[in-house]
Amino acid sequence: MSAHRVVFTPSGKRGEFPDGTSLLAAARTLGVDLDSVCGGRGICGRCQVDVAEGAFAKHAIRSGPDHLTPWGEVEQRYADKRGPFAAKRRLGCQARICGDLVIDVPPESQVHRQVVRKRAETRAIEIDPVVRLHYVEVAEPDMHDPSSDFRRLQQALSQQWGLAETNADLVTLAGLQKTLRAGGWKVTAALRKDRDIVAVTPGFTERAYGVAIDVGSTTIAAHLCDLVSGEVVASCGAMNPQIRFGEDLMSRVSYVMMNPGGDKELTRTVREAMDNLIGEAAREAGVARSEILEVTLVGNPIMHHLVLGLDPTELGGAPFALTIDGAYEARARELGLDVAPGAFAYALPCIAGHVGADTAGVVLSEGPHLKDELTLLVDVGTNAEIVFGARERLLACSSPTGPAFEGAQVSCGQRAAPGAIERVRIDRLNLEPRFKVIGCDHWSDEPGFAEATANLGVTGVCGSGIIEAIAEMFLSGIVSEDGVIDGELAERTKRVEQVGRTFAYVLSEGAPRLLIYQMDVRAIQLAKAALYAGAKLLIGRAGAAPERITLAGAFGSHIDPLYAMTLGLIPDCDLAKVASAGNAAGTGARIALLNLAARTEIEGVARRIEKIETAIEPAFQRHFVAAMAFPNKEDAFPNLAKRIDLPARKEPASERGRRRRRAASADTG
């Protein structure tokens, strides 16, 4: 039999094949990444390839469409059903080699496709899903050979796909006999890691979905993804209903400690919310729950434990011992999730007692471990999770920022919702403010603002608004670098008014009046000092300054990096390299959903991250005290100074007083 040379591009893999070999068989022999769900039956159309025409000197090959068997009946049937083929395009399973060939595998025919991501600095997601579909034709039962339906399915998977070690759990097996008969002994099996059969569907199907869930203390988000294209087909979010047991995490842990069985109640509540979101996303995208074949989960340690049904009590106090820290897999139904009967849920690893699977998701999304650039990753919530480092070494810690950045503990604070002030500017001369509220495109001093906000109202100030208000107060001299509202200004402007023994700044005269009190400034100082001190601890340990700062999470995606740096939330850095990553934890969950290797990757990285416990680091307290000042007492901010005029460092009022007293005592002495 004559043999022909075949080169596959873009891989460059090549080989010689006997006359009549199908292109799919040739690709498989060479390990070329060419997809197929139906196993070469001309049903799925995933193995489409392009034939190159002409002489290829590099390969010493002349290739052309006539070096393949003619366009056939099966291809025509597929084209009739799904639309005509591009010129020189063929089904790899049908076209057979009868001459030398150069065959191009287009991106859409590769299993390991890439999903493009929006931001330039992040890597593309390569599709390599943990669950893949395999169409099989199963032998019918025969009284002369009484093997079970499941054994014959296993044999079909072994013979038709080379999958020799397959398994299924009882829930999947329970429907097997009906499915096999409904499909006329032709079924599509969804296999996880080539081993666990998580679903069996009658006949041929190419629908495979997964859902990535980010369980935050405040909100839960579910992203339903097509496991083939990698696209997000629906995203849904909801408040975490556990909020009724306590706004912040520690009050929920307290609830568990004080109410025996309370952890089970919290677990049930969060699982129900997750399951409802899955249902909502599935409805929105027109996907059946049974088509959801895999779930991934991220969340802070307490949410992670509650979702898995693990009592979080120990996380409520030192030494903050996790029950488990490694990545964990369980059947999704064990978590109360109604998806494909045998589907698994994969929870990303936790890094430490305070640094959870959400941070692991951020790391996976942002990939500091893949860069030479020293990246500081900050995920701000009730705690700030901070990761610092690069390829060689990564450090992580959690800082107790408290909920001030989320609008709590601030008198006029509120959640980011319509009516909340989110942007603030203060005139450097007359100290008059102007602002923008969520839900209105105008600034408060622009015509039309009053009309536009008539219904909304100006109800409060959200986290990013508070940051900007205090930063502008600082830049305009209303607040000193020590965070003291200058009472002397009350003589110059009605915007500063006395409240008891301290002063406040009147941000809005509407109803309600919105004032930034001295204690609000203090709350932000405490929060930002904790954040900064945590970052400083890691930077000190690493012995080098950050070259890039990425702000993750809802808060991080709304604050203006310039103001964040002005207040000293984050250390000095080239402002062009300070950016928001949006919901990076959720993106991490999505990457883990779509790419099996990413799981191994984050499991390894999570283990080698050096964990710093701020509570027992003596340096943390020193950094914290220095970081109370705006932007900071210990450190210079050269990059920031290039962009804005920081107020000249004044002597603190207390110092002045002490000096005055000293002078006075000298007089009397």
- Residue 512: asked if its preceding bond is cis (omega within 30°), the reply is yes
462 vs 451: CA distance, rounded Å: 21
d(CA 186, CA 359): 43
Alpha-carbon gap, residue 292 to 115, rounded angstroms: 19
H or E, element range at 330: strand 328-331
Which one of residues 86, 87, 143, 511 is an interface residue with its own copies (CB under 8 A)?
A: 143
Please give the structure tokens belonging to residue 220: 């839960």
Q: Find the binder of its own copies among 174, 239, 450, 597 (CB under 8 A).
A: 174
- Of 29, 148, 259, 654, the one binding its own copies by CB under 8 A: 148
Candidates 291-299, 348-356, 406-414, 638-646 — which segment interacts with its own copies by CB under 8 A?
Answer: 348-356
* Nearest residue to 631 (alpha-carbon basis) of 479, 430, 423, 410: 479
Which stretch, 52-60, 436-444, 573-581, 612-620, contacts its own copies (CB under 8 A)? 612-620
Kindly tell me which of 325 and 379 has the beta carbon lying closer to its own copies: 325
Q: Which range in 144-152, 206-214, 285-293, 414-422 contacts its own copies by CB under 8 A?
A: 144-152
Shortest separation between residue 181's beta carbon and its own copies, angstroms: 8
3-state secondary structure of 289: helix
The sign of the torsion formed by the CA atoms of 24, 29, 35, 36 equals positive
Residue 455 interacts with its own copies (CB under 8 A): yes or no: no
CB of 155 vs its own copies, minimal distance in Å: 12
Identified binder of its own copies from the candidate list 260, 319, 447, 669, rule CB under 8 A: 319
Cβ atoms of residues 305 and 266 within 8 Å:
no
371, 611, 622, 633: residue in contact with its own copies (rule CB under 8 A): 611
**Interface pattern 175-214 for its own copies (x via CB under 8 A):** -xxx------------------------------------
Q: List for the chain the helix, strand, coil content (%; round to 5).
A: 35, 25, 40
260 belongs to the binding site for its own copies (CB under 8 A): no
Q: Residue 396: is it exposed, middle or buried by C-beta count within 10 angstroms (0-12/13-18/19+)? A: buried
595 near 128, Cβ under 8 Å?
Answer: yes
Rounded Cα distance between 110 and 33, Å, is 5
518-542 helix and 463-475 helix, angle to the nearest 10 degrees:
90
Shorter beta-carbon distance to its own copies: residue 176 or 438: 176
Nearer to its own copies, 353 or 368 (CB): 353
150 in contact with its own copies (CB under 8 A):
yes
> Which one of 325, 422, 472, 572 is in contact with its own copies (CB under 8 A)?
325
Residue placing its CB nearer to its own copies in the complex, 290 or 502: 290
As measured in angstroms, the least distance from the Cβ of 246 to its own copies is 21
Among 324, 597, 641, 664, binds its own copies (CB under 8 A): 324
Tell the smallest beta-carbon distance from residue 175 to its own copies (Å). Answer: 8
HSE-CB at 172 with a 13 A cutoff on CA atoms is 25
Residue number, 172 or 375, with CB nearest to its own copies: 172
Q: How far is the CB of 328 from its own copies (least distance, A)?
A: 8
- x-or-dash pattern for its own copies, window 404-433, by CB under 8 A? ------------------------------
Please give the residues from 112 up to 141 whose contact with its own copies meets the rule CB under 8 A: 141
- Considering only residues 615 to 654 of the shown chain, the ones binding its own copies according to CB under 8 A are 615-616
- Cα–Cα dist 355/528, whole Å: 18
- At 139, give phi and psi (nearest 5°): -65, 145
Contact 309, 359 (CB under 8 A): no
Spell out where 138-258 has E strands. 167-168, 186-192, 196-202, 209-215, 219-226, 232-239
Residues 6+ apart with CB under 8 A from 414: 407, 420, 459, 460, 461, 462
Residue with tokens 């999770």: 385
Residues that bind its own copies (CB under 8 A): 141-151, 169-171, 173-174, 176-178, 308-311, 313-314, 318-326, 328, 330, 334, 350, 352-353, 611, 613, 615-616
